Amino acid sequence: MIKLASEAEATLSSFYEEMRDKGAPRLRAAGWASFSESGVPNRRVESWHYTDLKTAMGRPAPLATASRAALSLPRAHDSLRLVTLDGVFRPDLSDIARLPDGVVAQSLRDALAQGDLHVMSALASADIGAQDPILALNAALMQDGVVIQIAPGAAIDRAIELATLASAEAAQSTYTRALVMLGEGARATVIETLGALSSAPAQDNSALVLRLATGARLNLVSHLSGGVDQAIRIASLLAHLDTGAVINSFALIEGEGLNRRQVFARLDGDNAKAVFNATTLGRGRLHADTTLIVDHAKPCGESREVFRNILDDQSVGVFQGKVIVRPGAQKTDGVMQSKALLLSEQAAMNNKPELEIFADDVQCGHGATCGRLDKDQLFYLTARGLPRREAEALLIEGFANEAMDAIEDEQLKTFLSDRVSAWLSRRISR
Amino acid sequence: MLEIKDLRVSVGEREILKGLTLRVKAGEVAAIMGPNGTGKSTLSYVIAGREGYEATSGEVRLNGENILDLEPAERASKGIFLAFQYPVEIPGVATMTFLKAALNAQRRARGEPELQTPEFMKRVKEAAASLGIAQDMLRRPLNAGFSGGEKKRMEILQMELLQPRLAILDETDSGLDIDALRVVADGVNALRSPQRAFIVITHYQRLLEYIRPDSVHVMAQGRIMRSGGPELALELEERGYQDYIAQEAA
């Protein structure tokens, strides 16, 4: 093993010593070995070129310990909620008892202790995202989270919310991992909520692993919010789709600090379909990085990515998207589009779309644009009586909405548009 | 209603309007005709308040009030409406959402109560039906992917909802087939009233067969060169604009 150099890595090494005997030793060891090869990535690591994690992290905050806080958490939508607070699954704050037939949930800690082979192999999630050091670090240090299994054929109407929250008043590091397995033909809606209840600069590293068996269908909405200037949030999404499986996902990213959302998806069966859309609302000094790899491994897959970055103040957006079409993944149909709207002189966007195609009968395209509000559109709206700021808000909202079109759940769509409106009304009022 | 006196307007370094004077009375439909590139659209933009179209001298008064220092939205709520030659596409914004936002912004600015959804819907539906606009178009993003004719109808729909005091129609006839032209003209005619004035900008006499003007003004080289009654439009149709261009050169 390469000797770890920096203070950051020495601290992380002590975290690993603390976690290595807490279940899944092989998964943790593999993660640690992989992480150790590169350490905390700096700008010289190509996939982290636009996000200097090493500098931002400095010395890692202490590993979170279970908080005893008896909280009452407000509900933003009508869902069944499973809460992981300060790195620990909290049954007392969760709706475990109310889960419908066909849904089994347990804490990650319990699942690791039981060591069920099916769960263990799903957690490792083949080698998806294997090259990423921070995802590997998550595997090495995972403290807790949730494991959900949805029975084959089950159709779960009510959304299941996985809320991963930080409440500590002092800076802390959390490493959480959730696993959602959908059996053959199962259907479900999952809300991934990543947020902060305090203003302490947390360093959160979360992973959501999705395994969709043949014909399974998942609607996923992720909402990343909160955070303060010095906070770091790295949220990874790993999706493995079998034959004919469908994932339709949308993420809303807001808040402050350094935010990186990584999506690693593999369409590993014929006719799988994936939608990964997202809207980022950048304000203050938010650094919002979206890094995405969609890997078409089998024929006739379809993938769609619509990304909208709305960047105000000194916020910075990053989009690194790669669509891979492997040899034999014929008839793949992939469209990836990233558009950024810069609302201030200091805001910046980095777009890096890529295609890697090794099959000859495919349809793949990508587009990336970056611009300001359109003067013609603004004049048109103001000439109809909308004051300048309201006209801007309407255009920004329209721009954000384009990534939300595919959301099927009307209640969730309303929740998300309300968040966008709230963000915009703060802009109008200042 | 509208009084423009010796108006000079530059866009960038170029002077486009060179001392334009025009009066339009309440209840009047004034047609402005003229060759390409003489500043007809510029005139419409200056009245509506577009950024970058700066008046260097002269004045534009609406019911006695100088409007040149007002923001476009303020002018709109005072009753100025511009039907665009090229209506702008606004992706992601449902037509209905836009209509309601615009109407209520104007009402707020005038100190009137906002229109509630049922009453608003009723008005939109009536206006849409009279213009042959399908309901599903109102749910689609504003003008996005609409045909030329659909966009022009949507302009008239907005005019009908917003009930302006002064409506400027900038080449509303361009790109319309004869049936669409009739629908649009009927929409305009239905709005004619003693309290409202229209400025109809067009190249061709054709539109004026459907919207009968009270006065016709020939615009060339950034000025109104001649004013007259409806018969002037017929004369222009026959002789073209050569006289006015020649006159300028001489």
Q: Closest by alpha carbon to B51, among A380, A374, A385, A379?
A: A379
Residue whose structure tokens are 């989009």: A319
Give yes or no for B162 touching A (CB within 8 A).
Answer: yes
Q: What does the pLDDT read at residue A383?
A: 97
pLDDT tens per residue, range B207-240 = 888 999 999 999 998 999 999 998 888 888 888 8
Please list, in sequence order, all residues whose beta carbon lies within 8 angstroms of the beta carbon of residue B147, skipping any fewer than 6 positions away.
none
Tell me whether residues B91 and A402 touch, CB distance under 8 A. Answer: yes
Please list, in sequence order, all residues whose beta carbon lies within 8 angstroms of the beta carbon of residue A420, skipping any fewer than 6 positions away.
A252, A279, A281, A397, A400, A401
> Token pair for residue A12?
């992380």
pTM over 0.95: no
Residue whose structure tokens are 């069920």: A116
Of B49, B92, B109, the CB nearest to A401: B92
Give yes or no for B112 touching A (CB within 8 A).
Answer: no
Rounded-to-integer distance, Cα A55 and Cα A43, Å: 9
Q: Closest by alpha carbon to A232, among A163, A177, A171?
A: A171
Q: What does the pLDDT read at residue A1?
A: 47
Q: Closest by alpha carbon to B128, among B160, B100, B162?
A: B160
Give chain B positions within 8 Å (CB) of A379.
48, 50-51, 72, 88
Tell me whether residues A394 and B106 touch, CB distance under 8 A. Answer: no
Cβ atoms of A143 and A64 within 8 Å: the answer is: yes
Residue whose structure tokens are 């939508």: A77
Rounded-to-integer distance, Cα B222 and Cα B17, Å: 4
pLDDT band at A5 (very low <50, low <70, confident <90, very high): low
- Write down the mean pLDDT value for chain A: 93
Give yes or no for B50 touching A (CB within 8 A).
Answer: yes
Rounded-to-integer distance, Cα A201 and Cα A203, Å: 7
Rounded-to-integer distance, Cα B203 and Cα B166, Å: 20
How big is chain A by its Cα radius of gyration, in Å? 21
Q: Which residue of A has its CA nearest to B77?
A: A385
Which residues 183-202 in chain B show a CB within 8 A of chain A?
A: none
Rounded-to-integer distance, Cα A175 and Cα A15, Å: 10
∠B38-B41-B42 over CA atoms, to 5°? 80
Write out the residues of chain A at the interface with chain B, using a CB-CB cutoff of 8 A. 374-377, 379-388, 390-391, 394-395, 397-402
Tell me whether residues B73 and A388 touch, CB distance under 8 A. Answer: yes
Question: Collapsing DSSP states into helix, strand and coil, what is residue B210?
Answer: helix
Q: What does the pLDDT read at residue B177?
A: 84
pLDDT tens per residue, range A317-357 = 999 999 999 999 999 999 999 999 999 999 999 999 999 99
pLDDT tens per residue, range A46-75 = 999 999 999 999 889 999 987 766 677 888
- Its sign, for the CA torsion A73, A79, A84, A90, is positive
Of A380, A397, A401, the CB nearest to B84: A380
Give yes or no for B144 touching A (CB within 8 A).
Answer: no
Tell me whether residues A398 and B92 touch, CB distance under 8 A. Answer: yes
Across the range A138-144, mean pLDDT stands at 96
Tell me whether residues B93 and A401 touch, CB distance under 8 A. Answer: yes
CA distance A404 to chain B (A): 10
pLDDT tens per residue, range A184-197 = 999 999 999 999 98
Please list, in sequence order, all residues whose beta carbon lies within 8 angstroms of the beta carbon of residue A44, skipping any fewer than 6 positions away.
none
Of A386, A397, A402, the CB nearest to B102: A386
Q: Which residue of A has its CA nearest to B94?
A: A398
pLDDT tens per residue, range B52-102 = 998 999 999 999 999 999 999 999 999 999 999 899 999 989 999 999 999
Q: What does the pLDDT read at residue A125?
A: 67
Question: Collapsing DSSP states into helix, strand and coil, what is residue B118?
Answer: helix
Query: Could you give the percent of chain A with pLDDT greater than 70?
Result: 98
Tell me whether residues B76 and A383 touch, CB distance under 8 A. Answer: yes
Cβ atoms of A276 and A248 within 8 Å: the answer is: no
Q: What does the pLDDT read at residue B83?
A: 94
Q: Closest by alpha carbon to B166, among B67, B59, B54, B51?
A: B67
Please list, in sequence order, all residues whose beta carbon lies within 8 angstroms of the beta carbon of residue A213, skipping any fewer than 6 positions away.
A152, A181, A182, A183, A184, A185, A186, A242, A245
Of A377, A379, A385, the CB nearest to B109: A385
Give chain A positions within 8 Å (CB) of B75.
383
Please list, in sequence order, all residues whose beta carbon lies within 8 angstroms of the beta carbon of residue A109, skipping any fewer than 6 positions away.
A22, A23, A88, A89, A143, A144
Residue A227: is its pLDDT beyond 90? no
Residue B249: is its pLDDT beyond 50? no
pLDDT band at B246 (very low <50, low <70, confident <90, very high): low
Rounded-to-integer distance, Cα A229 and Cα A232, Å: 9
How does DSSP classify residue B65? E
Tell me whether residues A383 and B103 touch, CB distance under 8 A. Answer: no
Rounded-to-integer distance, Cα A305 and Cα A291, Å: 12
Cβ atoms of A185 and A152 within 8 Å: the answer is: yes
Tell me whether residues B92 and A399 touch, CB distance under 8 A. Answer: yes
Q: What does the pLDDT read at residue B250?
A: 41
Of residues B226 and B204, the one with the higher pLDDT is: B226
Give yes or no for B92 touching A (CB within 8 A).
Answer: yes
Distances (CA, A) of A359 to A249, A329, A407: 26, 6, 31
DSSP-derived secondary structure for A347-391: -EEEEEEEEEE--SS-EEEEEEEEE---HHHHHHHHHTT--HHHH
Query: Could you give the percent of chain A with pLDDT greater than 90?
Result: 83
pLDDT tens per residue, range A150-194 = 999 999 999 999 999 998 889 999 999 999 999 999 999 999 999
Cβ atoms of B108 and B66 within 8 Å: the answer is: no
Strand order in the sheet with B29-33: B80-83, B166-170, B197-202, B29-33, B215-220, B223-228
DSSP-derived secondary structure for A75-123: -SSSEEEEEEETTEE-GGGS-GGGPPTTEEEEEHHHHHHHT-HHHHHHH
Residue B248: is its pLDDT beyond 60? no
Q: What does the pLDDT read at residue A240?
A: 96
Question: Collapsing DSSP states into helix, strand and coil, what is residue A185?
Answer: coil
Strand order in the sheet with A146-150: A103-107, A146-150, A173-182, A203-212, A232-241, A258-267, A287-296, A316-325, A348-357
pLDDT tens per residue, range A367-418 = 999 999 999 999 999 999 999 999 999 999 999 988 998 999 999 999 999 9
Distances (CA, A) of B64 to A251, B4, B60: 53, 10, 9
Cβ atoms of A396 and A341 within 8 Å: the answer is: yes
pLDDT tens per residue, range B106-149 = 999 999 999 999 999 999 999 999 888 888 899 999 999 998 88
Tell me whether residues A383 and B91 touch, CB distance under 8 A. Answer: no
Cβ atoms of B249 and B221 within 8 Å: the answer is: no
How does DSSP classify residue B48? H
CA distance B50 to chain A (A): 6
Of B50, B71, B158, the CB nearest to A384: B158
Cβ atoms of A150 and A102 within 8 Å: the answer is: yes
Question: Collapsing DSSP states into helix, strand and coil, what is residue B135?
Answer: helix
Rounded-to-integer distance, Cα A217 and Cα A259, Å: 28
Question: Collapsing DSSP states into helix, strand and coil, what is residue A161?
Answer: strand
Rounded-to-integer distance, Cα A238 and Cα A136, Å: 12
- Candidates A384, A386, A396, partner chain B, best to mutate (most B CBs within 10 A): A384
Going through chain B in order, the beta strands assigned E by DSSP cover 2-11, 14-24, 29-33, 53-62, 65-66, 80-83, 166-170, 197-202, 215-220, 223-228
DSSP-derived secondary structure for B16-43: EEEEEEEEE-TT-EEEEE--TTSSHHHH
Q: What does the pLDDT read at residue A128?
A: 79
Cβ atoms of B209 and B215 within 8 Å: the answer is: no
